[in-house]
A = this chain, B = another copy of it.
Amino acid sequence: MITGPQITLAHGGGGTMMQDFLHDVVLPRLHNPALDDLADAAVLACPHGGELAFTTDSFVVQPLFFPGGDIGHLAVCGTVNDLAVMGAKPAALSLACILESGVPMDVVARVMDSVKASAADAGVPVVTGDTKVVEKGQADQMYLTTSGVGWRLPHAPAGWRSVQKGDAVMVSGSIGHHGVAVLAARAALPFTTPLSSDCAPLNGIVGLLLEAEREVRWMRDPTRGGLAAALNELAVQAGVGIELDAAAVPLADDVKGAAEMLGLDPLYLANEGRFVVVCPASRADKAIAVLRSHPLGRGAARIGTVTGPMPRGRVVMNTGFGGTRIVDMPSGEQLPRIC
């Protein structure tokens, strides 16, 4: 075991520390083909045909409310998005609440309002749930856990095993909004224009893409650990190199400015309403056009290329001055409790 004698915040950060924890502590005990893939959702065959996607996430974001969202909105979108990027049409959500004794009822009600609005926006009902209450001081107001089930679409991506040299790498919009919005809210930073999270349900735009383009190979929503973690996971699993073009990565001025001020790299900032798409290079222009036709994909861009076999995987970025930089897997999260 190389994960150390105690749990640390970095074990929940979506980086190498979490990967080590999963590979050292969890997978040796619970391994099975579905779990071992560490995908955004597990895929199960249904008895009468078709496939079920099944996913879960806990949400411990702090503060509960931030520009562009709150823990309820995040919990619904996070789970809807994990189903969507696995090529599934979300069918239903569960919601388990761990509430702290003493939390004001109107805070709970506001979060439930948000769950309602987000579930309606995504078109996915919350069909089952649970409520537990712990003593004051034991849950930082509230933690939510959403799980989701969905039916895999006929043209769901085949996943990392299908990724090939020459494939195009795209992102559906500018990155880092969620990470800087939560951090700004937490620190009460005085930005002149409020930074807003990108948190949104992606099932609509993903459905549009998969209907129009049947050769999407792989998708992921780059949450904890950001674009860097998502692409490194793909590179390691598929055993490929990925080359990014720094100038092509969409980045809003306000996010760029805030990240610079805070000393954070946007590639590692969490996103909650963006997704990465890999498809054959010959289909990239069409895929970008489809993405841009949807309100959540206006900023879609091709950002790089799969460069070929690389047994341990590697992500590099052309900096635009003839240089390249290795984009490593983060070890922990720059910002704990971002989701």
Contacts and interface: CB of A to CB of B under 8 A. Distances in A.
A41 B94 CA distance: 10
Interface in A255-309: none
Given A48-B46, A101-B8, A35 B128 contact: yes
Interface in A46-70: 46-50, 52, 54-60
Nearest to A11: B133
A115 interface: yes
Interface residues of A, number: 83
Interface string A1-13: 1011111111111
A106 B139 CA distance: 22
Contact of A102 (B7, B99, B102): B7
A258 B226 CA distance: 53
Given A34-B125, A56-B95, A145-B96, A131 B41 contact: no
Contacts of A47: 46, 50, 151
B129 A6 contact: no
Interface in A167-189: none
A336 interface: yes
A147 interface: yes
A336 B135 contact: yes
A92 interface: yes
Nearest to A1: B105
Interface string A126-152: 111111111101111001010101010
A114 to B, nearest CB: 9
A105 B3 contact: yes
A132 B25 contact: no
A38 B297 CA distance: 38
Contact of A98 (B1, B55, B60, B104): B60
Contact of A30 (B52, B108, B126, B130): B126
Given A26-B112, A108-B25, A149-B44, A12 B132 contact: yes
A8 B133 contact: yes
A55 B111 CA distance: 21
A22 B133 CA distance: 13
A192 interface: no
Specify which of A39, A47, A119 lies most central, judged by the most chain B CB atoms within 10 Å of its CB. A47
B56 A9 contact: no
Nearest to A106: B5
Closest 8 CB pairs of A and B: A12-B133, A147-B147, A48-B49, A42-B127, A56-B94, A145-B145, A34-B127, A29-B116
27 contacts: A5-B105, A6-B102, A7-B103, A7-B133, A9-B101, A10-B133, A22-B131, A26-B131, A29-B113, A29-B115, A30-B125, A34-B92, A42-B92, A42-B128, A44-B127, A46-B48, A46-B151, A49-B49, A52-B149, A54-B128, A56-B129, A58-B132, A94-B147, A98-B98, A132-B143, A132-B337, A134-B140
